[in-house]
Amino acid sequence: MKRITTIYCLSALLALAVNPSYGAKKNAHKAWTNPDTALQEDPDFAIQGEYGSAEAGAALGVQVVALGDGKFNAYLLEDGLPGLGWTREKSRTVLEGARDGDAVKLSLAAPKITASILDGKLTLTDENGKTSVLPRIERTSPSLGATPPEGAVVLFDGSSAEKWKNGKVENGYLLSTGCTSKQKFNSYKLHLEFRTPYMPTARGQGRGNSGIYHSGRWETQVLDSFGLEGKDNETGGIYSISEPRLNMCLPPLTWQTYDVDFTAAKFDDEGKRTAWPRITVKLNGVLVHEDLELNKDFTTAAPMKDPLTSPEGPVFIQNHNNPVVYRNIWIVPGK
């Protein structure tokens, strides 16, 4: 038995030398970082997305989320998609389903609602037998590609990560490596664009997770939370402080925007804090927080955890072991 054990150990060591990943825990959740590749390799990617009208005033909007292996959830939203009519007090109905031949079939038992997706259209039949046909649409943020105004500090323009500690660039994008801006700021206006990966089999905080920490302390969350409830730990949320007014997260591999007005904490001449910082946030052009008080020294996983004694701090981009990427990051410093 000792000889067999020795041979096994030597074999394992040899395997490690040849392949360092041998014996490592396999990542069961494949992550696509390029939409063209996802479209070629996973047919579910072309199904996931928004169905309805890109204009306000629609009676219904539907968000379809891929769950892997041909399975889907569909969220039926009263009065249209988020930002176009649906708000939290309106109905949100969940249908479940999967691929059935060339189509996707979804249903809810009570009240009986059925839906099918084929050729870029979702056909819905409600409990009264009324049928609606909704096309698949792709929305973009109105601030996507916003140009830095005069006086702005450009933190990342795709050319290099020289303005970041631990910053890394790949294909012109800033990686979510846990990087910190070298420059510190007081109050500011921030524009930032991000893209979450397509990870259909992942769930919750393991699905496209990162975050932007203002002054190194307070996080506006980044997550593939498309179609979900819109909690404080999902995109648009201020982690552990406040959920967004509504979930404006777009589908994975869509470029999305944060536009933030950050007002730094105030201190008197003796260094005593007289006011907490405040924040106003637009996610994909829609207001999700307005003049919100950030009433704690830091939020979960913040790199700066000492007591708040200064109005200045860096911008920090969190590493959560998911391939989230960033671009077009600039700040207009305030007073």
Domain residue ranges of the chain, discontinuous segments joined by +: 35-137, 153-333
Dist CA 44 CA 140 (whole Å): 21
Neighbours of 119 (CB within 10 A): 8
Amino acid at position 130, single letter:
K
pLDDT interval class at 245 (50, 70, 90):
very high
Q: 């932007």: which residue's tokens?
A: 212
Write out pLDDT tens, residues 88-136: 999 999 999 999 999 999 999 888 999 999 999 999 999 999 999 999 9
Dist CA 228 CA 241 (whole Å): 18
Dist CA 131 CA 33 (whole Å): 36
pTM for the full predicted model: 0.90
Nearest CA to 68 among 98, 106, 109? 98
Instruction: Let me know if domain 153-333 sits in CATH 2.40.420.20.
Output: no
Rounded to whole angstroms, what are the CA distances from 259 to 180, 189, 251, 333? 18, 7, 18, 14
User: Strand, coil or helix: what is 288?
Assistant: strand
pLDDT interval class at 1 (50, 70, 90):
very low
Dist CA 188 CA 238 (whole Å): 17
Nearest CA to 79 among 66, 67, 62? 62
- The pLDDT mean for the chain works out to 91
**pLDDT exceeds 70 at position 200:** yes
Judge whether 252 and 264 are in contact, CB under 8 Å. no
Fold (CATH) for 35-137? Lipocalin (2.40.128)
pLDDT of residue 277: 98
Give ∠ CA 164-170-171 in degrees, rounded to 5: 130
Q: 């991000």: which residue's tokens?
A: 194
Q: Do domains 35-137 and 153-333 have the same CATH topology?
A: no
Q: Which two structure tokens, joined as six digits, stand for 168?
A: 């890394």
Write out pLDDT tens, residues 23-52: 333 446 899 999 999 999 999 999 999 999
pLDDT interval class at 205 (50, 70, 90):
confident
Judge whether 145 and 293 are in contact, CB under 8 Å. no
Tallying the residues shown for the chain, one arrives at: 335
pLDDT of residue 14: 35
pLDDT interval class at 204 (50, 70, 90):
confident
Amino acid at position 256, single letter:
Q
